[in-house]
C-alpha cells in the first residue's frame, strides 16, 4: 500500500458493509447515471471505476458500455474485488475486469492486469477521494491512464459534518464530530471536494462541470432517511471500539434516533455531495 492510501478501508469489508454499499448505490444510482450521461458516456466506451468497492457502479457501467466496451474496477480491498470478480463470472460479463491495487498507482495496476496502454475514455470515482491520503497523487494517477480527451467524473463530500436534524438532536453532536475525526485519523478528508477542482486543474484537467447533487429531503420512512441509518449500523459500533465515541453517547444517540425516526415532521440534513467533470487537457 502506498502513502496515498489508508492502512485499511475505514469501514471494513464485512458482509454488512457490502450490503450497505449495495443499498447506497441504488439510492444514488440516478445521480451516478446523470453524471455519466452528462460526461458523454457512450456504448463501446472504455471505463475505469476508481475505488470500485464490490463493483455496484461498475456493473451498471458495464451494462451501459456493452460488450464492445470495457470496464475495469480497481480497489485496494481484496474481499470487494473477489466479490466483483464472482459477480462478473456469474453474470457472464467478460468485459468487466477487476484488480486489487492502490488508486494512486493505477498505471501499474492496469499494466499488471494486462491492460496497459488501454487509454480509458472515462474514469468514475465516487466516495473514494475522501478516504485517500494524497488526492493529488490519485488525480495524477487517473490522468496517466486516461486517453486523449478522456474525462474524469467525481462525486464526493464537502461539509460532511454539517449533517444534522430538524428538530435538533443534541446527542448527535459528539457522534458527527467523531465521524469527521475518524475519517481524518485514517488519512482522509470529509471535505475533500473543497480542494479537488483546483487540484484537478493543477494536474492538467479542465474542469467543465461542478455542482452540488440535489437529493430528495430525507424524511422519516424515506429511502434517503435509511441511507445514513445503514451507515450507523456498520460504523458506530466500530467507532465505540476505536474509542472515538463513548458507549453511553452511542446508546443516547441510538435512542434519540429511534425517537426522531417516528416523528413525521422531522428532516435530516444529509452530508452534501458535490460532483465534478474534468477533461484531460
Ligand atoms: C465508500 S466505498 C465506495 C465504493 C464505490 N466507489 C461506490 O461508490 O460504491 C470506498 C472504497 O474506496 C476504496 N479505497 C479507499 N482508498 C483506496 C486506495 N488508496 N486505493 C484503492 N481503493 C481505495 C475502499 O476499499 C472502498 O472500497
Measure the CA–CA gap between 175 and 232, rounded to whole angstroms: 10
Q: Residue of the nearest CA to atom 4 in ligand 1? A: 53
Q: How many residues does this entry show for the chain?
A: 281
Residue 48 confidence (pLDDT): 98
Cis link prior to 82 (omega < 30° from 0)?
A: no
- C-alpha 183 – ligand 1 centre gap (Å): 13
Residue 1 confidence (pLDDT): 33
Residue 96 confidence (pLDDT): 98
Q: Is the CB of 155 under 6 A from ligand 1?
A: no
Residue 194 confidence (pLDDT): 97
CA geometry: angle 106, 109, 114, nearest 5 deg: 125
Q: Residue of the nearest CA to atom 26 in ligand 1? A: 53
Q: Is the CB of 9 under 6 A from ligand 1?
A: yes
Residue 221 confidence (pLDDT): 95
Contact 207, 275 (CB under 8 A): no
Q: Is the CB of 156 under 6 A from ligand 1?
A: no
In ligand 1, the atom with minimum distance to the C-alpha of 102 is 20
Q: Residue of the nearest CA to atom 1 in ligand 1? A: 127
| Helix, coil or strand: residue 177 | helix
- C-alpha 253 – ligand 1 centre gap (Å): 28
Residue 202 confidence (pLDDT): 98
Q: Is the CB of 186 under 6 A from ligand 1?
A: no
Q: Is the CB of 132 under 6 A from ligand 1?
A: yes
Measure the CA–CA gap between 205 and 219, rounded to whole angstroms: 38
Residue 175 confidence (pLDDT): 95
**Residue 169 neighbours by CB under 8 Å, 6+ apart:** 253, 256, 257, 260
Instruction: Name residues of the chain where pLDDT drops below 50.
Output: 1-7
Q: What topology is assigned to 15-280 in CATH?
A: Rossmann fold (3.40.50)
Per-residue pLDDT tens over the stretch 139-173: 999 999 999 999 999 999 999 999 999 999 999 99
Per-residue pLDDT tens over the stretch 5-27: 434 677 778 888 899 999 999 99
Q: Is the CB of 127 under 6 A from ligand 1?
A: yes
- C-alpha 266 – ligand 1 centre gap (Å): 32
Residue 6 confidence (pLDDT): 39
Q: Is the CB of 230 under 6 A from ligand 1?
A: no
Measure the CA–CA gap between 78 and 12, rounded to whole angstroms: 11
Enumerate the domain spans of the chain.
Answer: 15-280
Amino acid at each position: 500500500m502506498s502513502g496515498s492510501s489508508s492502512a485499511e478501508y475505514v469501514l471494513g469489508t464485512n458482509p454488512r458493509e457490502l450490503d450497505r454499499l449495495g443499498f447506497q448505490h441504488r439510492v444514488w444510482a440516478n445521480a451516478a447515471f446523470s453524471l455519466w450521461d452528462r460526461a458523454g458516456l457512450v456504448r463501446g466506451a472504455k471505463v475505469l471505476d476508481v475505488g470500485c468497492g464490490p463493483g455496484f457502479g461498475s456493473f451498471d457501467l458495464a451494462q451501459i458500455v456493452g460488450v464492445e466496451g470495457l470496464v475495469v474496477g480497481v480497489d485496494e480491498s481484496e474481499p470487494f474485488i473477489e466479490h466483483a470478480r464472482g459477480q462478473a463470472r456469474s453474470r457472464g460479463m467478460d468485459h468487466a475486469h477487476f484488480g486489487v491495487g492502490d488508486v494512486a498507482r493505477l498505471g501499474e495496476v492496469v499494466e499488471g492486469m494486462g491492460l496497459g496502454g488501454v487509454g480509458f475514455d472515462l474514469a468514475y470515482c465516487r466516495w473514494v477521494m475522501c478516504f485517500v491520503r494524497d488526492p493529488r497523487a490519485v488525480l495524477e494517477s487517473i490522468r496517466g491512464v486516461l486517453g486523449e480527451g478522456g474525462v474524469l467524473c467525481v462525486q464526493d463530500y464537502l461539509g460532511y459534518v454539517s449533517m444534522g436534524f430538524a428538530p435538533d438532536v443534541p446527542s448527535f453532536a459528539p457522534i458527527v464530530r467523531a465521524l469527521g475525526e475518524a475519517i481524518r485519523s485514517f488519512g482522509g478528508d470529509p471535505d475533500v471536494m473543497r480542494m479537488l477542482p483546483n487540484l484537478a486543474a493543477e494536474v492538467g484537467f479542465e474542469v467543465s462541470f461542478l455542482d452540488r447533487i440535489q437529493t430528495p429531503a430525507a424524511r422519516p420512512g424515506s429511502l434517503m432517511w435509511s441511507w445514513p441509518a445503514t451507515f450507523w449500523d456498520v460504523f458506530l459500533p466500530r467507532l465505540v471500539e476505536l474509542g472515538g465515541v463513548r458507549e453511553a453517547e452511542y446508546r443516547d444517540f441510538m435512542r434519540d434516533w429511534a425517537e426522531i425516526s417516528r416523528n413525521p415532521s422531522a428532516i435530516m440534513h444529509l452530508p452534501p455531495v458535490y460532483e465534478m467533470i474534468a477533461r484531460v487537457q
